[in-house]
Amino acid sequence: MADTTKTPPPSFWEIQKKQQRISLFLFLMLFIFYFLTVGLISGAVLITAGVFLPDFSFFAGSFFYKYIIVVFGIALGLAGLNFIQARKNGVRYILRNLRARSPDPEDRYHLSFLNILEEMKISSGLPGLRGYIIPTVNINSLSLIGQDGLPAIVVTEGLLAEAGRDELQAVVAHETAHILKGDTFLLTLICSLAAFYEQLIDSLEEQRELSRPELKSPGRAKGSTQPLIYLASSISFLLLNFFVALVSQKRELLADATAVELSRDPMALARAIYKAHLANSFLGDSSLFTSLFLVPPDSRDIQDSPGDKLFNTHPPLLLRLKLLAEMAHKDVKAVIEEVRAREEQREKSRLLYSPLEDRGPDSQEKLRQLQLKAREALEEESVWLARNTRGQWDGPYVLGSLVTLPYFTPATRIKNLKENLEGPARNFPQVRFALFRQLKKQPLDPACQNKCPVCRTELTSTFYEGVRIKKCQGCQGKLVAMADLEKIFARRELAFPDRIKQKALAHGEALLAPNLKPPVLKEKPPALCPECGLQFTLRPFSYHYLMPVYKCYPCQQIWFEDEELEILQILVEDSTRNRQPANQS
Ligand SMILES: [Zn+2]
Ligand SMILES: [Zn+2]
Residue 354 domain-assigned (yes or no): no
Which of the ligands is closest to the CA of residue 555? 2
Residue 468 and residue 427 share a domain: no
Last residue of a domain, one of 325, 349, 373: 349
Residue 468 and residue 432 share a domain: no
Residue 438 and residue 457 share a domain: no
Q: Are 113 and 131 in contact (CB under 8 A)?
A: yes
- 148: phi > 0 → left, psi -120 to 50 → alpha, else beta; which? alpha
Residue 302 and residue 161 share a domain: yes
Q: How far is the CA of 551 from the centre of ligand 2 (A)?
A: 8
What's the CATH number where 417 sits?
3.30.1490
Last residue of a domain, one of 349, 374, 402: 349
Residue 219 domain-assigned (yes or no): no
Q: How far apart are CA 140 and CA 137, in angstroms?
A: 9
Which of the ligands is closest to the CA of residue 535? 2
Which of the ligands is closest to the CA of residue 444? 2
Q: How far is the CA of 444 from the centre of ligand 2 (A)?
A: 10
Structure confidence by residue, pLDDT tens digits, 502-514: 888 887 776 666 5
Residue 257 and residue 306 share a domain: yes
Q: Which of 198-207, 330-339, 443-452 has the lowest mean pLDDT?
A: 198-207
pLDDT (mean) for 509-533: 71
pLDDT of residue 10: 62
Structure confidence by residue, pLDDT tens digits, 300-338: 444 444 444 444 566 778 888 999 999 999 988 999 999
Residue 171 domain-assigned (yes or no): yes
Q: How far is the CA of 484 from the centre of ligand 2 (A)?
A: 16
Rounded to two decimals, the pTM is 0.76
Pairing of strands 351-352, 494-495: parallel
Residue 133 and residue 259 share a domain: yes
Q: How far is the CA of 525 from the centre of ligand 1 (A)?
A: 14
Q: How far is the CA of 143 from the centre of ligand 1 (A)?
A: 44
Distances (CA, A) of 262 to 118, 147, 176: 14, 26, 9
Residue 360 domain-assigned (yes or no): no
CB atoms within 10 A of CB 80: 14
Which of the ligands is closest to the CA of residue 441? 2
Residue 464 and residue 434 share a domain: no
pLDDT of residue 446: 79
Residue 512 domain-assigned (yes or no): yes
Q: How far is the CA of 386 from the centre of ligand 1 (A)?
A: 29
Which of the ligands is closest to the CA of residue 472? 1
Q: Which residue has the higher pLDDT, 53 or 19?
A: 19
The number of distinct structural domains making up the chain is 3
Residue 415 and residue 284 share a domain: no
Residue 552 and residue 430 share a domain: no
DSSP β-bridge partners for residue 132: 154
Q: From the CA atom positions of the chain, what is the Rg in Å?
A: 30
Residue 278 domain-assigned (yes or no): yes
Q: Are 305 and 299 in contact (CB under 8 A)?
A: no
Residue 178 domain-assigned (yes or no): yes
Residue 168 and residue 205 share a domain: yes
Q: How far is the CA of 470 from the centre of ligand 1 (A)?
A: 11
Q: How far is the CA of 549 from the centre of ligand 1 (A)?
A: 15
Q: How far is the CA of 480 from the centre of ligand 1 (A)?
A: 14
Q: Which residues, at least 6 apart from 443, have a Cβ–Cβ distance to it below 8 Å?
A: 437, 449, 450, 530, 531, 532, 533
Q: Which residue has the higher pLDDT, 195 or 312?
A: 195
Last residue of a domain, one of 326, 349, 372: 349
Residue 387 and residue 314 share a domain: no
Residue 389 domain-assigned (yes or no): yes
Q: How far is the CA of 369 from the centre of ligand 1 (A)?
A: 11
Quote the domain boundaries for residue 52. 1-211+224-349
Q: How far apart are CA 516 and CA 506, in angstroms?
A: 12
Residue 18 and residue 127 share a domain: yes
Q: How far is the CA of 166 from the centre of ligand 2 (A)?
A: 40
Q: At residue 121, does pLDDT exceed 80?
A: yes
